Each structure stands twice: as C-alpha cells, then as structure tokens.
Structure 1
Amino acid sequence: MSKSKLIAKRLFDDVKWKRYNYLINKETYKILADVEAQRGKLSKSMVRKCDEYAEDILGGKVFSPGLQLFSALNGGFQEGWLPENYYGRFVVEYAQGDYGKVSYLKPMTRYIFRSDLFPDLVSYVNGIWLDSYSKVVLPDQVREVLFANRDKVVFKSDTNFLQGLGIHFFTKENFDIHSILMLGNGVFQDFIHQHPFFEEIMPDSVATIRLTTAVDREGQVSVRSSFLRVGRSGQPNVKAKSEINVLADAVTGKLDQEVYYMNYQYTDRHPDTGYQFGGKTLPCYRKCVDAVVSLHATIPQVRCIGWDLVVDKNEDVKVMEWNGADNGMRIAQGVKGAVFADLGWDKLHLLKENPLLVY
C-alpha cells in the first residue's frame, strides 16, 4: 500500500472509531441515567476512579462511561472490565476478527460445525437451495423436504437477522417459494416446541438461553456468562428492543431474582405474566454447557462466541444460532462482574505497538 493510501486509511479509521465511541457513549449515558434513577447516582469519587482506570489501563478516557455504567449496575468497581466500546473496538478486531464474521452467514453453520445440535433444514444461498448437508435441492422439492416431518418452520434471513429481526414463520399452507426468494439468502430451521419450564414463563414465544464462551491462550473453552432471554406478550419471537433478561450463575444455571429491561432497570418478575425467577434453575443446563463447549472447541480461531440455545419439550438442547462478532456483553459484565479479567484482553489496545503481546 502506498504512503498516501496508508495515511488516508488511518484518517478514515480515526474518524470511524471516533464516531463509534460517540454513539456507544451516547447510548451508555442514556442507560446510566435510567440505572441511576433507580439505584442512585454514582459518587464523584467513583466517576473519578473510572476516568483514571480508563486512561491508565484501557488507553483513553473515552472508555470511562462504560465503566461508570458497570459500576452503577454492580454497586462497586472491578478491575478487568471491558466497556462496550473497548470490546467492540479491540476484542472484536483481535479476538474474533473476520473469522467471527462467518457467523453472520447462517447457511454455513451446519457446514462448519457438522452437528445435529443446530435445527437447520434447508438454506437458500445465491440462487440455489441446499439441504443441511449442502446438497442441492431442486425448487419444486423444497416444500416437501421442509414439511416432511413437521408442520411449522422458521426462516432466518442473512441480511436482517440481528436483534430478533428478519425472522419469519411458515406452515405448509402459507409457504410460497416466490415470496421467500424476496427475503434473500437465509436458512430454514425446525420450529422448536419449548420445554414446559419456559412455556410457563411466556407461552407466546420461545425463550433462549444465551451462553458466552471464551478460549484462553492454552485453548481451554469455558462459559463466561449465562442469561435467559424472554419475549413479551403478543410477540411471536424474542426481540432485542423489548426482551427481558434474567442473569444466571454460569456454572450452575441458577437464575437471579432480578429481571432486567433493555434500559437495565429491573423488576422482580416478568412484566406480562408475573412469573418470578429467583432461585429457579434452568433445565438441562449441564447439557447446554457441554454443547457449547464442545462446539467452540471446533473453531478456536474465534476466541469469544455467544450462543443462543433452546431446550425443547423432550429436554433436547438445540443451538439456534451463534454469534462470533460483536456479541455484546454489557449486561453480563455489569451485573456479574469482570468475566474476562483473566484473559488479558484489557491490553489488546497495545497490540499494534507490541505485536508480541500474549493474550
């Protein structure tokens, strides 16, 4: 790359990350205000501690707002926290990178993992239909393949799948291959009938367990956070803008009492059904942990992955999707603490100056 192109790239990157930090911190301050309205304002000494830690350890005061939010949620300060904009800037680039972005290509999932844990059935990619083994399916056979042993399927679009968007439900009666082509590349999955435990919480949508795993420098995979994502009344699937989150113990799957809204204010029950979570344990939790640990071990190139799992009515675990790029950890870090503290990822901003940095 010529010197002029290199300078232009650096200028572009500088502007891009300044805007990124501005947008993340604007959102963070808004959430912080909601949290403080419920829990009380942070002390000036705590804000100062966050400022100093951000500058001295993370490389810039721009990371202080995230630390302030974590401190407000946690009731104190912890070393090793990775604010949202630090995580998005450095962890995503150096611990996930382009390898993690493969997770956006949903039809590739079964091909990568070769596992029946994923309920993928048929995908549509660049003009052709493929079964779960990447064998071509002719267009006039798609309906038959999809509904041979089931009455309902789910389509997830590659172009609009984040935050519960781009999800469409089909039966044999309303299946129209021409309208599906308009949705673009994506994958069909079996519709999961959830375990009675989750049906009691919210019957309108399928609850998912979000487990986040990380690979340490020795290649060991471990679960770093666990929480339950539950939808609201009248919504057919869990949507990021309205879902509620309940944190769980990453080892045992025991649920906390607090139920968090998306502005991180909390209550003690599901706002629609009144279900109370405290002291209850996620069913088949050990099976969920074993599933994601074994899957992550097959793709250690992606150092951190978020997994969305469902436990069905037969107590089988299904992995609905994986996210290897920018899998947000804000609520888990804030409530549970510095879950990545032992990995050395708070030094990733030094990697360009010190490419021999071990992490």
Structure 2
Amino acid sequence: MMRLDVENVVRRSARRVAQYRFHLDHGAQARKVLLVLESRYGRTDPANLRLADMYARDVFGDPVYAPWLRVYTAFCGTFKEGWIPDNYYGSVVVPHMKGWYGKISSLKPISRLIFDGDALPDVAYFANGLFFTDRSIVVPESELPDVVFAQSGRVVFKLDGSKQGNGVYIFDRANFDPARIKALGNGVIQKFIVQHPLFEAFASKPVATLRFTTVVDDAGRISIRACYLRLGRADDTHILTDREVCVPVKLSTGELGDEGYMNDWGATEAHPDSGVRFAGMKIPQFDQCVETVLRLHRKIPFARCVGWDVTVDANEEVQVMEWNGEHNDVKFSEATQGPCFSDLNWERLKSLR
C-alpha cells in the first residue's frame, strides 16, 4: 500500500513539473513575440493589456494564460473576448476534447485504415519490423522499391510523431534503402507531390500546405474554424516551422490575405525569396479542400479538434498530407482570424482540470 502511495505521489509530481515547464516555455515564446511586435509597431495600449491579464485570471483562472492573450492583443491592436490562449488549449482543451483518441494521429501507418479513399498520398508503411502497402499487404524488402516508386520518382518518409518539419526525409530511387528506413523507425512513405503552379510560384522546392482547423461541437456538428497557407523557403526541401511563411486564408472565398507573416510574426506582402505577392491570390480547389477535411473528420468525431495539412497537386487533386489530433497550434489562427472557438464554451473546461 505504501509503495502505491509513493508511486502516485511521484506521478503527480512529475505531471506538475511537466505542466510548469510547459507553461514556462509558452510564456517565454509569447513574451519574445510580444517584444518583436512592439519593436516594429509600437507599444500596445496598456489598458488593452490589462484586459488580457484580467481575462486570463477571471475566465481561465490563472495568469499563466495571459502571455498569449497579450500577443493576440498586440497583434490586433485591441483585446477581444473569446480568444483561447495556446497553452490553455494544449493543457486543458486537448486532454478534454481529444485525450488518447487524438494521439492516434501520431501513428501514421493507421491513417489509411481510418480514412480509406485516395485523399492520402501514402504508398507504404514501416512498423514493427514490417514493410506493408497502403492496403496492409506485407512487402518483402527486395520488392519495396518497385512498390514505393510505382507512382513517383521521389518519395517522402515521415516518422511517427514527426512535427515542425523534423523527422521528414526525401528519397529518390538511387538513394532509397529499406535498411535506412528501418534504422529511422516506424512511419509512412508517401509519394512526392508535384504541387499546383500557384504554390510553385511562391517556392518551388517545399510543397505548400493549407492548415485547416476543424471542430466538432457538442451537438456533433463539424465545422471549419480557421485556415492558413504555409509556405517554405526557397532553399528548403520541405516546410520547416522555424522558417515558414504563413498567410491567412479567407474561409468564405479561399482568397489569401494581403499579408503573410514570418516566424517572428513580422508582416510581409510577398514571399521573401520569390517576391510573389499574396494579395489577389485564390487557393485552387478550395471548396474541394473544405469538403475533404469535413468528410474525413466525420470518421473521427471523437477527436474533436483536428489540424489538417492539405495541398493541391499539379492535377488539381486534393492531397491530405497529414492530420494532427493532438496539440495542433491555434495561436496564429486566433491572432489572425479569431476568436475562432468562442461559441464552444471551452473556457468552462477549467473546472474539470
């Protein structure tokens, strides 16, 4: 009995330490962004910052949630009720609205089993010592190259749990080696997507993606709450979070906003490498992209908020590159398009912690 009590105390202490570090890291990130915003655009009205601080304390129950609210306020030049701080989303909303059901998104070889259809560019998987096709047929290593290069001269391998551009590898037939895949670990092999010319104009190497955020409300209705375009830099093979350019997308029309934002939240009217401007551009097949993510979310309503990375290829086909059922970042969407979730009563979840 004593041993169980000690183990429980240790677990609770470990969780508290993890939460402390989580909020400490978010606070540091937010304060850094706030400094950049104020250095570029001037000091934020102190009255609005006080409103953000009060909202964190009175609505979310802890001043630890104030830093991101301050960033949203500085970005917009005013305070808006209904905003969700990104660390509140990660520490409170995600466990309550997704739990273990959201974590399955990190296990890439099961995506095809869940969603079926041809929206995913998956061609093969490696898991627990076996290579198998997108139809769950085990493939001998000697036959694997013929399988994965049947549709494309290049493939992308993504490790389970890969995020922020890490754990992503690009191979052609000459340098593809099943032994290398096995050494890297479990994951998915996807055909390399030749992106739509509109995306190609911004940056030709990294495949641009649309980040959609969809939610399931308490009545089971699924809706899109935010969307932005993620663009890589000219010299990168794929999008890296610390170098990407993000451009808000108007949900009603699929048009790009007039400005995009660098990793430090600095605004730019054009891609920093190609010089292609954002204003006047419209996402190709936007309605089809919307229909696709809504349809797929209906298959996993138990993960109640999902981030989808979607692109449109050169044949104008929608490709769902991955989905995130865990802590899909909401801070950029909240600042540029929010409040995105104000009707969902997520702030009431604090009493359930």
Q: What is the TM-score of this pair, normalised by structure 1?
A: 0.95
**SS of residue in 1 equivalent to 2:340:** coil
- Cα shift at 1:112: 1.3
2:265 maps to what in 1? 264
1:141 maps to what in 2? 143
- Cα shift at 1:75: 1.8
Contact 1:54 1:64 in 2 (8 A): yes
The yes-or-no answer on 1:292 pairing with 2:293 is yes
Contact 2:44 2:77 in 1 (8 A): no
Q: 2:57 aligns with which of 41, 55, 69?
A: 55
The yes-or-no answer on 1:275 pairing with 2:270 is no
2:234 maps to what in 1? 233
Cα shift readout 1:86-141 (whole Å, capped 9, x = no counterpart): 01101111111111111111111101111210010010101001110112111111
1:321 maps to what in 2? 322
1:111 maps to what in 2? 113
Where structure 2 has 5 or more consecutive residues not aligned to the other structure, the ranges are: none
Q: After superposition, where does 1:34-183 map in structure 2 within 5 Å? A: 34-158=36-160, 161-183=162-184
CA distance in 2, matches of 1:54, 1:97: 24
Question: One-letter code of the match for 1:182?
Answer: A
Question: One-letter code of the match for 2:98?
Answer: Q
Question: One-letter code of the match for 1:282?
Answer: I
- Cα shift at 1:3: 4.9
**SS of residue in 2 equivalent to 1:34:** helix
CA distance in 2, matches of 1:250, 1:129: 39
> Closer, same or farther in 2 for the Cα pair 1:337/1:148, shift >3 Å?
closer
Question: One-letter code of the match for 2:304?
Answer: R
**SS of residue in 2 equivalent to 1:134:** coil
Question: One-letter code of the match for 1:109?
Answer: S
Contact 1:74 1:337 in 2 (8 A): no
CA distance in 2, matches of 1:157, 1:252: 34
Contact 2:109 2:126 in 1 (8 A): yes
Where structure 1 has 5 or more consecutive residues not aligned to the other structure, the ranges are: 353-359
- Cα shift at 1:148: 2.4
CA distance in 1, matches of 2:309, 2:246: 13
1:185 maps to what in 2? 186
The yes-or-no answer on 1:331 pairing with 2:329 is no
Contact 2:270 2:278 in 1 (8 A): yes
Cα shift readout 1:174-214 (whole Å, capped 9, x = no counterpart): 22222222111111101111111111111122111111100
Question: One-letter code of the match for 1:254?
Answer: E
2:207 maps to what in 1? 206
Contact 1:74 1:336 in 2 (8 A): no
Question: One-letter code of the match for 1:121?
Answer: V
Contact 2:49 2:79 in 1 (8 A): no
Cα shift readout 1:49-98 (whole Å, capped 9, x = no counterpart): 11111111001111111110011112211111111110110111111111
- Cα shift at 1:5: 4.2
CA distance in 1, matches of 2:85, 2:55: 12
Cα shift readout 1:305-325 (whole Å, capped 9, x = no counterpart): 000011011110000000000
Question: One-letter code of the match for 1:36?
Answer: E
Q: 2:32 aligns with which of 30, 33, 55?
A: 30
Contact 2:227 2:248 in 1 (8 A): yes
**SS of residue in 2 equivalent to 1:156:** strand
Contact 1:229 1:244 in 2 (8 A): yes
CA distance in 2, matches of 1:164, 1:7: 36
CA distance in 2, matches of 1:25, 1:115: 41
Q: Percent identity?
A: 40
1:357 maps to what in 2? none
CA distance in 2, matches of 1:44, 1:193: 48
- Cα shift at 1:4: 4.8
Q: After superposition, where does 1:207-226 map in structure 2 within 5 Å? A: 207-226=208-227
Question: One-letter code of the match for 1:263?
Answer: D
- Cα shift at 1:6: 3.9
1:11 maps to what in 2? 13
- Cα shift at 1:47: 1.7
Cα shift readout 1:10-59 (whole Å, capped 9, x = no counterpart): 33322221221111101110011001111221122112111111111001
